[in-house]
Amino acid sequence: MSFLKETTRLPLNMIKKTTISPETPQTDEKVIDIEGQIKNLGKKIRELRIKKGYTNAEFFAYDHRINRSQYGKYERGEDLRFSSLLRILQIHNMTLKEFFEEGFE
């Protein structure tokens, strides 16, 4: 409790406010288009499905025991957990390195 009483507060003029926006990158920082990269993930997942011979995402999802509506979200680049990505890569017998070799910065 005594620690809380002894804590000093900085005046507001001493606190540096930092805002990072895609329009104005900082000199040493890279700006990542997060939404664009996630959409790119979905596009790549779709390409893998088509390469495997499935023209329909629902058939692919059904054959591999993935919830069909959820798989549709994956291909649209929505709501994709890392574990779900790993499962999809396992279906395609592909490593993370192989998946990210092309099309990502």
- Let me know if residue 23 belongs to a domain: no
Domain count, the chain: 1
Q: How far apart are CA 90 and CA 100, in angstroms?
A: 14
pLDDT tens-digit map of 1-13: 444 455 455 554 5
| Domain of 76, in residue numbers | 32-105
What pTM was estimated for this model as a whole? 0.68
Mean pLDDT of the chain: 81
- Let me know if residue 21 belongs to a domain: no
- Let me know if residue 58 belongs to a domain: yes
Residue 71 in 3-state DSSP? helix
Q: Which CATH number do you get for residue 54?
A: 1.10.260.40
pLDDT tens-digit map of 23-46: 655 566 777 788 888 899 999 999
Sequence-separated (6 or more) residues with CB below 8 Å from residue 83: none
> What pLDDT band is residue 20 in, cutting at 50, 70 and 90?
low
Amino acid at site 84: S
- Let me know if residue 17 belongs to a domain: no
